[in-house]
Structure 1
């Protein structure tokens, strides 16, 4: 028999069986159909003794990415990349290695595990535990931290490579150590938060004039803890549903940053998330608010429990200057330091302004030129502050004189009447 004739005959038999089964279901009593279905399924299970488990990419009405799916994806990463024809590559950990994974069009949105039922106990116990544990360890080893920003209700990211550290941060050593200790205690406190029944999160409020290092502080926090950063732009979020989706889609071991909250018109959604049950959907997250004008904020927003730790980032102190001088000029002492210390005690200049003066202007980077530039800047700032104070005093005196004159005219008018 020719192959074409054989396939035609098989197709005819299958069509006949399907037709007979359809006719049987149409005229067979319903109770008898149930009995036949029941025993046919048992027979099929006996003949096909395999069990299937599916691991979908999203859980919880597609709000949350499945951690099991992510762990399996990491575990199968090196294996699946040998099978796929379309790959994407990324450099991880300061260009030390390249990680290959399947391209977006090669990826499936679920993983399916099929195994014989006699291995059920082994698969559901040791094997799956091994896959999840190994997958999570691979994720930590290959972790490439990211900086996320929102576009509508979705996050986009770039690789986070900011070099800031607490060591290079222009701040008094005692205050830096206090903040570092607080962060490190938080990052190891999972059991504590579970015991007291609170979500594993902590709120920080960074406040101070522009140029005092709020963004640098956030970068240093992320580098210390090895956290991702989610820079949430509230003006790009149209409603609370979209906001909730964004916040739920953040991962653990991350910092959620909301900058310039004094400029935000409606913070109801974010407060509900910080306080409500949605805040417990994932663990180990810092929520950082920043503002240049803390006096404009509603006290209810920054109360303890919402913003647990308040950090003021103010004008440059002499100790902060010493760190900047070491960073920029590799100087730990200089005869001009005494004059700079004196001027810093008499006027206000932000660390960003100080750093600009210390930035070498030539290839040789003459430290004397930079320090003299800073002294000139501080002296000018001092003079400007004096002039401003004098002008404000004159304006205050003028307003007071006008008010007194007004009161006198008012008094004369009353006496005439």
Structure 2
């Protein structure tokens, strides 16, 4: 090791002396000597270096640099002596990385790799267009030339994969909503606006039968781990879920639980603000992987109940027809046209749906019978999940959530009532939520209120049934 250190020191001294002396050579000879000196040094110096700059073309931050930074933070920073901490872009945690002019050693399949973090500061007084001024940061890795194929073909891919995984795990998840087309200033910039996604719903707190909950969790897990399988069968890596049932049965809560389970972003798509099929495609292109695209109450968003036209038309034909319908002097920017059924079908499983990957599309509806069968067939909405009225198993989850009670002497009476009365989880939850300190200390009060509410609902249902029978009889007796 001492010999290697001495050899490296000699090489460094030679390069320093050469840099000092070459300035006295004529300009024409400098390039000549530099070329051949580099060849001589590379012949005796057995190490190869690769530089990863922070900014690439058009002054855009390099994706490779970000991935390397995340990889070194997760894998190598523990071995560094000088560290720096910062909250990265879209990150929910502090990112601790090696400081400038610091070096760490990594190992991969028996090969040793040296990572060096540094920055350059040009001495010129010209205006810099780089973020942060003139400083240009970079990472440089060095390795023995005999490991060249291993590093280039395997190690760099490993670094990018692990770095991206670490960034995703530490990112700050978001809830997006689409902006009206009138607010677009180049769709790449402002098609979506977002807030931090902080919904607390999980499958542990979701009021649902345990067997159905387990079935859904298994399905989501298979999807998340199914990248290679989807590629093998030739399908885009996406899955559709249709949530249907009466209002108050927890469809929106279910979406939040799915997002928290998968650690995905959520895109809440408002179809009524989308002008045409072309804009719908642009919105889809601007979504990212590991995301859930949600269209709530799809039966109310668009008229998807009518018969489809016998002759297929292209999106441009449909857009042209919409323009013809507008009054004179009004262009399509002043009037929102509707997205067609064919455009929505193409959005779900057409060619454009294969852009990117690892996306879940969720539709919710209170009236599944109103939807076109082509929209909800398997292959588009792969799994249909009925969000039904509250059963006893779902009630026990709510009792645990709201009152921290797992068993009570009133449970048998509640179970009997729930088997006879249709009530939504939202109504049950409202009765179980303590309204006073007394109710917090004595959960039996809340359970008693629920029993009373169930009895009233049972009486109302019986009266409605009698009223319906009387109306039917009067209709039959009328001439």
Match of 1:372 in 2: 448
Match of 2:470 in 1: 394
Against the structure 1 CA distance between its residues 400 and 107, is the aligned structure 2 distance closer, same or farther, given a 3 Å change threshold?
Answer: farther
- SS class of match (1:300): helix
- SS class of match (2:249): coil
Kindly indicate whether the alpha-carbon contact (under 8 Å) linking 2:71 and 2:162 is maintained by their aligned counterparts in 1.
no
Distance 2:139 2:399 in 1: 63
Kindly indicate whether the alpha-carbon contact (under 8 Å) linking 1:90 and 1:99 is maintained by their aligned counterparts in 2.
no
- SS class of match (1:255): strand
**Deviation at residue 337 of structure 1 after TM alignment:** 1.1
Unaligned runs of 5+ in 1: 1-41, 59-65, 80-86, 406-417
Match of 1:336 in 2: 410
Match of 2:202 among 152, 155, 165: 165
Tell me the alpha carbon deviations over residues 254-302 of structure 1, each in whole angstroms, 9 at most, x when there is no partner: 1111111111323332211222111111111111111000011111111
Match of 2:250 among 183, 204, 213: 213
Match of 2:160 in 1: 132
Match of 2:366 among 285, 292, 311: 292
Match of 1:5 in 2: none
Match of 1:147 among 164, 169, 175: 175
Kindly indicate whether the alpha-carbon contact (under 8 Å) linking 1:72 and 1:131 is maintained by their aligned counterparts in 2.
no
Match of 1:242 in 2: 279
**Deviation at residue 223 of structure 1 after TM alignment:** 1.1
**Deviation at residue 77 of structure 1 after TM alignment:** 8.2
**Matched residues, number:** 338
Distance 1:56 1:209 in 2: 53
State the superposition RMSD in angstroms. Answer: 3.8
Distance 1:57 1:253 in 2: 27
Match of 1:198 in 2: 235
Kindly indicate whether the alpha-carbon contact (under 8 Å) linking 1:91 and 1:98 is maintained by their aligned counterparts in 2.
no
- SS class of match (2:394): helix
**Deviation at residue 372 of structure 1 after TM alignment:** 0.8
**Deviation at residue 71 of structure 1 after TM alignment:** 4.5
**Deviation at residue 243 of structure 1 after TM alignment:** 1.1
Structure showing greater radius of gyration is 1
**Deviation at residue 230 of structure 1 after TM alignment:** 0.9
Match of 2:345 in 1: 271
Scaled by the length of structure 2, what TM-score is found? Answer: 0.62
**Deviation at residue 345 of structure 1 after TM alignment:** 1.1
Kindly indicate whether the alpha-carbon contact (under 8 Å) linking 1:72 and 1:135 is maintained by their aligned counterparts in 2.
no
Match of 2:375 in 1: 301
Scaled by the length of structure 1, what TM-score is found? Answer: 0.71
What pairs with 1:11-410 in structure 2 (closer than 5 Å)?
Answer: 55=56, 69-73=62-66, 75=68, 92-93=91-92, 97-98=93-94, 106=131, 129=157, 132-133=160-161, 135-152=163-180, 154-265=191-302, 266-364=340-438, 365=440, 366-402=442-478, 405=479
- SS class of match (2:230): helix
**Deviation at residue 89 of structure 1 after TM alignment:** 7.2
Tell me the alpha carbon deviations over residues 151-200 of structure 1, each in whole angstroms, 9 at most, x when there is no partner: 13511111111111111111111110000000001110111111111101
Against the structure 1 CA distance between its residues 386 and 306, is the aligned structure 2 distance closer, same or farther, given a 3 Å change threshold?
Answer: same
Distance 1:181 1:390 in 2: 44
